[in-house]
Amino acid sequence: MSTEDGPRVAILGGGIGGLAAAAFLRDKGFHSDVYEQAAALTEVGAGLVIAPNAARLLRRLGVLDRFVERAVRMEVGWEFRRWENGAVLSAENLQEGCIRLYGEHTYTAHRADLLDALRSAVPEHSIHLGRRCVSVEFEGDQAVLRFEDGETVRPDILIGADGVHSRVRGAIVGPTQARESGICAFRALVPAEQAPDFARRRAQTLWIGPDHHLVHYPVSGEEYVNLVAFAPAGTSSVESWTATATLEELLDEFAGWDPRLVELIRSADTPGRWALLDREPLDHWNRGNATLLGDAAHPMFPFFAQGAAQAIEDGAVLALCLAEDPDHPIAALGRYEGLRRPRTARLQEVSHGRSHINHLADGPEQQARDLAYAQADPLRANGWIYEYDPEVAVSASA
């Protein structure tokens, strides 16, 4: 089934996970075809955090320099502030700590800038735009893709990187039910010249309060401040990157909070709004010659800022497993799943737990949390996240 150049790999989805997989596969000598339904590779959703575990992999791909042209290197991180007066509960010195502990810095960026960096490591002829997949079926262990234009593709390996509403996941595990979490997220950008001074710092700041929290940090070469806020979900919330709210709705959610934060919100553009749906970790994500990565495999709440990083890690581990056993792709996919599923399930679970902790009502539980934050060292406590190295993980499993 393989071509002279190795197995034919099809990647469904040209987002961060799909391009990361294509880039790491190319680094290991594999050709892949990325099928993306959009007519252009664009990323909505505004900001994201690239912690040391992801930054190391961008460096390994040779795209970190391109990424940091527009990314912002964080100096302060996990800066928790009290909702009513901005009192700092906890903060970490990222400028020194990240390099000392994990060998890389932490960055914030617009998603489009990360996508651009990853795309630079993938040949243009490998990316097929405007290709809408209408069905994924199996003939035995063989995945079969059918596209809207009538083309049928039977790859040696299929990677489903097609996001939270993945068609490939549906074919592998069947329909999976998502529960309403009761939380919705608002996202917006504020032009830096309109943002208050405190929001332009190279800091990842989290304001926490009853039933709500709000995160902000600079992106896009410090031209904008990215803002993402979490609040109780209303009946109009949908799980979408493109649904919008009004600025008045976002301001209403944070009425009575520190006036400086309200000023920041007031300077924002029209916010997007989407529901956070709750999904249990999958007990498997392979079938035959097909597998999943990124949000298609393990969608997670964004409260540890690891969604993009885990998709990048997936691509690295998958490429390493295939490189070690290219003649037995199904076995290599099984090894990949076995390595990745426990780690991503743990991150899904801890991210889920943070939603309750950040939204405590004022009272004894909140006071105990604030004391714990003041005494915590999150940069060290999250070492299991940031020190992860795919090459070490794969070697240890040999």
Question: How confident is the model over 90-119, as pLDDT tens digits?
Answer: 999 998 899 999 999 999 999 999 999 999
Q: In angstroms, rounded to a whole number, what is the distance separating the alpha carbons of residues 237 and 189? A: 20
The pLDDT assigned to 275 comes to 86
Which tokens belong to 90? 């906890």
Q: Is the pLDDT of residue 44 over 80?
A: no
Weakest mean pLDDT among 137-146, 187-196, 246-255, 274-283? 274-283
Q: Is the four-CA dihedral 345, 204, 187, 221 of positive or negative sign?
A: negative
Mean confidence (pLDDT) of the chain: 93
When pLDDT is cut at 50, 70 and 90, the band that residue 369 belongs to is very high
Question: Could you report the per-residue pLDDT of 339-355, keeping only the tens digit for each?
Answer: 999 999 999 999 998 98
Q: Is the pLDDT of residue 46 over 70?
A: yes
Q: In angstroms, rounded to a whole number, what is the distance separating the alpha carbons of residues 314 and 276? A: 22
The pLDDT assigned to 4 comes to 45
Contact 237, 273 (CB under 8 A): yes
Active-site hit among 35, 102, 107, 217: 217
Specify whether the backbone of 220 is left (phi greater than 0), alpha (psi in -120 to 50) or beta.
left
Arithmetic mean of pLDDT, 225-241: 75
When pLDDT is cut at 50, 70 and 90, the band that residue 5 belongs to is low
Mark whether 217 is an active-site residue.
Answer: yes
Which tokens belong to 111? 């998603």
Question: Could you report the per-residue pLDDT of 295-339, keeping only the tens digit for each?
Answer: 999 999 999 999 999 999 999 999 999 999 999 999 999 999 999
Which tokens belong to 164? 């939270």
Cα pseudo-dihedral 319, 60, 221, 85, rounded to 10: 80
pTM for the full predicted model: 0.95
Q: Is the pLDDT of residue 239 over 60?
A: no
When pLDDT is cut at 50, 70 and 90, the band that residue 191 belongs to is very high
The pLDDT assigned to 326 comes to 93
Contact 227, 188 (CB under 8 A): yes
Q: Tokens 């009853």 sit at which residue?
A: 210
Q: In angstroms, rounded to a whole number, what is the distance separating the alpha carbons of residues 234 and 143? A: 39
Q: Is the pLDDT of residue 13 over 60?
A: yes
Return the percentage of the chain with pLDDT > 70, whole number.
96
When pLDDT is cut at 50, 70 and 90, the band that residue 235 belongs to is low
The pLDDT assigned to 195 comes to 96
Arithmetic mean of pLDDT, 233-245: 62
Tell me which of 255 and 245 has the higher pLDDT.
Answer: 255
The pLDDT assigned to 3 comes to 41
Tell me which of 1 and 395 has the higher pLDDT.
Answer: 395
- What's the farthest any 2 CA atoms get from each other in the chain? 66
Arithmetic mean of pLDDT, 63-88: 96
**Which residues fall within 8 angstroms of residue 150, CB to CB, at 6 or more apart?**
none
The pLDDT assigned to 2 comes to 40
Arithmetic mean of pLDDT, 249-253: 95
The pLDDT assigned to 1 comes to 38
Q: Is the pLDDT of residue 129 over 50?
A: yes
